[in-house]
Amino acid sequence: MDYHLCPSILSADFNRLGQQIQTLEEEGVKWLHIDVMDGDFVPSISFGMPVIRSIRKESKMFFDVHLMVSAPERYIQDFVDCGADSITVHAEACEDLERAIELIRDAGVKVGVSIKPATPVNDISHLLDDVDMVLVMTVQPGFGGQKYLNECTEKIEELRELIDREHADVDIQVDGGINDETMETVMKAGANLLVAGSYVFNGDLASNVKHITKRMQHIKEEIE
């Protein structure tokens, strides 16, 4: 199983965004998590296609685009056109989730489905053959810097057990409240893709990435 740190640019310094993305690449980070929020599905508004198109020109990282928007089907092709390598939609935001998944697949990028903390794994368990990743939100979506919700650990474990039982080729991503302590919790529960914002960007970026990747490697060795 491949493990990746997925820094969320929601916590980046947008005055130095290009420079910070370059630092991430220099430190060996492969994934970039891009939260798109519309002020409707979640209260906050973040950024959209122009930002992604701009940074795509300068980066070879895997652009992991997380659409926290209502009716995301409307925008899938637009986000692919501006540089997304994967698109994650919320199960709760789609009128026809199966159709949204089909549209993402047809657009030629990886497919992700996200569930909020209150949404049971059972709501998306029938879709494991159709997706590449399930994102378990471990905070309420829409705001950075929240505390990890401990009740989500059981959901990660349930999802990992289901994926392993069905021999599905599906990654588990977690987003929310990741730090030194919760990183170990979610990885041992079964997550392999860790979204982190303030944990990565607050303070010295390069030093933070070195510390986090070293710790992830240590936990991975313990698991294996």
Are 213 and 23 in contact, with CB atoms under 8 Å apart?
Answer: no
Write the DSSP symbol of residue 38. B
Would residue 175 show up in a list of annotated catalytic residues for this protein? yes
Catalytic residue among 13, 35, 106, 129: 35
> Is 8 annotated in some ligand binding site?
yes
Tokens of 193: 């893709």
The answer to whether 48 is a known ligand-binding residue is no
Band the pLDDT of 7: cuts 50, 70, 90.
Answer: very high
| pTM for this model (two decimals) | 0.96
- Ligand-binding annotation for 175, yes or no, is yes
- Interhelix angle for 180-189 vs 205-223, to 10°? 30
> For 151-169, what is each residue's pLDDT tens digit?
999 999 999 999 999 999 9
For residue 143, say whether it is annotated as part of any ligand binding site. Answer: yes
pLDDT of residue 43: 85
**155: CATH:** 3.20.20.70
Domain that residue 214 falls in: 4-223
pLDDT digits (tens, 9 = 90+) for 60-94: 999 999 999 999 999 999 999 999 999 999 999 99
Q: What is the pLDDT of residues 112-139, one digit of tens each?
A: 999 999 999 999 999 999 999 999 999 9
79 annotated as ligand-binding? no
35 is in an annotated binding site: yes
Structural domains of the chain, count:
1
- Per-residue pLDDT, 146: 79
Helix, strand, coil percentages for the chain (3-state, nearest 5): 45, 20, 35
Sheet holding 193-196, edge to edge: 4-7, 193-196, 171-175, 133-137, 110-115, 86-90, 62-68, 31-37
Mean confidence (pLDDT) of the chain: 95
Q: How far is CA 97 from the centre of its chain?
A: 18
Asked if 152 contacts 138 with a C-beta cutoff of 8 angstroms, the reply is yes
What residue has token string 């705001």?
A: 143
Is 35 a catalytic site residue? yes
